[in-house]
Amino acid sequence: MPQADEAEKFIYVKLGRIDSLTWSDAEVVVFDCPCALRHMYHNNGALNLPDSISQEDNQPLTDGGTSESPPTDKCTLCMNTVKEVYAVYEANKSHSDLRDAVLALCNFYRKYNEVVCAGVINVHLDMIIYFAEHANNDTITRRFCSLYLPPGSCEFEDEWVVNVDLGTKPDVITPSVPSILNESAVIVHVSDLHYDPTYTLGNNAVCDAPTCCKEDQGRPTSPSDGAGYWGDYRNCDSPLQLVNNTLQHIKQHHQKIDYVYFTGDFVYHGMWESTKEQHTQIITSIVRAFNETFQDTPVFFALGNHEPIQANAYAPLDVDTNVSTKWLFELVSELWSPYITEDAKQTILQGGFYTVKPRDGFRVIVLNNIVCLNNNYWLAYDSRDPYNQLKWLAETLLLSEREGDKVHILYHVPTGMNNQWGSCLKIWGREFHKIVDRFENIVAAHFTGHTHYDEFHVFYSTENASRANGVSFNGGSGTPFIDVNPNYKTYTVDPASWNVVDSDMWIFNLTDANSKPEQNPDWFKLYSFRDEYRVANLLPAQLDSLAHRMAANHTLLQEYYRFYVKNADPSLAKGCDDACLKERLCEIVTVESGDLSKCEQLDKEFDLVPNKH
């Protein structure tokens, strides 16, 4: 490769400078350059490619530009680059040539250091080859770029609906709970533990890799940049002692627990060193720790985006090669067996989703909704209700309606999410919303994870957007990654309706805990939702009203931000300005990615406040 300044000059002269794109945190950057990849490597000696795949100046790269006059829209730039990558492989089917080409791009753009680039490409190479051999056409390439690029750069060219008879929707029954509960159920919600078995006390917490504090990253020059005993606010995942202490504290301080929900992400963010053996070990150890801690208390697990070897990548079932995800489904179908039925095992094997009835009148449905995450590039290959999961969901809810069940739905990714952690495919979110709207009388609550923040979301009727008819609660994270305190949550639930009456957030301050490594962290209840926000319960109408109160009361909204980041020192130091506060409001009322109708209404209410904060 040329030196950095020479390379930048080459790109500017030959291709025209382009704005940097938005990357996924769990995927190698190989597609931001509209370069004539074969031409650049041939002329600069980065690869010794055959003359048959080199190009002369001004020869068309692909449709949409030449090496002197490149296309300007990001979608075409991305598609051209994907085709160039495929062409390197098509020349002689050489795995090593393809690897070297993609590695050169990763190093050229310095997304990660050379070690991470090489590792990520090794982990993903078989997946790239599969796409080159089975999905090398304009339609799939365009879909890939639409998933990869920022919203609005490329339209995702696919349209489908879930083909299932939902029956006639019964008259809506407004949910309610008694003002005083004679009895209650308690649910503990844990999410996103991200256990890192290579976490090393004192090692570098400020590194140029996706996650730091690792065994092979060495000691920092400054001791202040060293990893803390109980974890670190910076790009570091959970040490074993943090995972164990979290579960032990829950068991010791909550005598009555009816169910435990875990909404995904057992595995840490080390996507450049992932192996099947490593992920198997991590998932197995975490599940066994839950089983040993809670014993006869049922634990219901959902899969997250970091469980596959290639992060985010849940392959279709007909992909039966070494990039298949079947090994993961087989693993968890056995590990989760103490709390699930044989029927549940079978649906896990078909896509990582299942349902159980822990008692009469109550059903738990667990989805694998990483199939909606835009960072799951298998959606370019097949996006149409992957695993037929939404059809199964609708049929399961129909059964629940006939049997008189109330339902909790668990999944990893909030369906309206659209931020640095990715977004849920608009079509999938729309179809999901239609289904849960149809069954609003029986779906009592949703439980999610992924973002690592303490947040809630309100669903609205598809026929009357002013009527709230569903609620979702995020479990936060057991890891402090990034700039948050570790947490878990407890919910007080009415066992007659399975509606959530209250929730408590439990945290410890990581700065304080790391200053006393010889002592256990000082866990404490950060707040009670009902007391803090002065709501009667956590039903949809109450939370919709709360969102409007926050728009009008910025002091209350700032308090929401404090809880959102779980009172973490670095996030509180950064603060949350008006734009940040509006984002928090928008997240609350968005359950379909890209649908900003409710956001616009709250924005106007926010702007009416004369003296902010």
Q: pLDDT tens for residues 592-607?
A: 998 999 999 999 999 9
Percent of the chain with pLDDT over 70: 87
Q: Residue 410: pLDDT above 70?
A: yes
- 193 and 116 within one domain: no
Q: Report whether pLDDT(51) > 90.
A: no
Verify that 128 and 193 share a domain, yes or no.
no
On the question of pLDDT at 336 being above 60, the answer is yes
Task: Tell whether the model's pLDDT for residue 61 goes beyond 60.
Answer: no
> What is the phi/psi pair of residue 31, to 5°?
-120, 20
Q: Are residues 408 and 506 in the same domain?
A: yes
* Same domain (yes/no): 230, 303: no
Does 350 lie in the same domain as 288?
yes
Q: Which residues are annotated as a binding site?
A: 192, 194, 265, 305, 412, 450, 452
Assess whether pLDDT exceeds 90 at residue 20. no
Can you tell me which residue has the tokens 């009727």? 461
Q: What is the DSSP letter of 180?
A: S
Q: Which residues contact 190 (CB under 8 A, 6 or more apart)?
A: 246, 247, 250, 260, 261, 262, 263, 475, 478, 488
What average pLDDT does the structure give for the chain? 88
User: Three-state DSSP class for 562?
Assistant: helix
Residues 206 and 259 in one domain: no
Please check whether residue 439 lies inside any domain of the structure: yes
Contact 124, 310 (CB under 8 A): yes
Q: Give 448's strand partners.
A: 474
159: its two tokens: 């349209």
For residues 467 and 491, state if they share a domain: yes
**In this model, does residue 238 exceed pLDDT 90?**
yes
d(CA 123, CA 12): 31
- The answer on 32 and 18 residing in a single domain is yes
Residue range 242-252, pLDDT digits in tens? 999 999 999 99
> Domain range spanning residue 82?
4-148
Considering the domain boundaries, does residue 258 fall inside one? yes
- Per-residue pLDDT at 50 exceeds 50: no
In the chain, what percentage of residues exceed pLDDT 90? 77
Q: Give a three-class secondary structure readout of 230-267.
A: CCCCCCCCECHHHHHHHHHHHHHHCCCCCEEEECCCCE
Judge whether 613 lies within some domain: no
Query: Which residues are documented as binding site for Zn(2+)?
Result: 192, 194, 265, 305, 412, 450, 452
Under the banding of pLDDT at 50, 70 and 90, the label for residue 612 is low
Q: Find out whether 365 and 408 touch, Cβ atoms under 8 Å.
A: yes
Q: Measuring CA to CA, which residue among 365, 441, 366, 398 is closest to residue 167?
A: 398
Q: Which residue has the higher pLDDT, 533 or 34?
A: 533
**pLDDT value of residue 260:** 98
> How many CB atoms within 10 Å of residue 293?
17
Work out how many domains the chain is built from and give that number: 3
The arithmetic mean of pLDDT across residues 340-355, rounded, is 97
Integer angstrom CA distances of residue 350 from 245, 299, 361: 34, 21, 26
Residue with tokens 């209410």: 605
Distance separating alpha carbons of residues 147 and 271, to the nearest angstrom: 19
Q: Can you give the pLDDT at residue 72?
A: 56
pTM above 0.75, yes or no: yes
User: Do residues 457 and 476 share a domain?
Assistant: yes
Lowest-pLDDT range of 51-65, 444-458, 570-584: 51-65
Provide the greatest CA pair distance for the chain.
Answer: 80
Tell me the per-residue pLDDT of 168-178, one tens digit each, with 9 for 90 and over: 999 999 999 99
Question: Do 134 and 215 sit in the same domain of this protein?
Answer: no
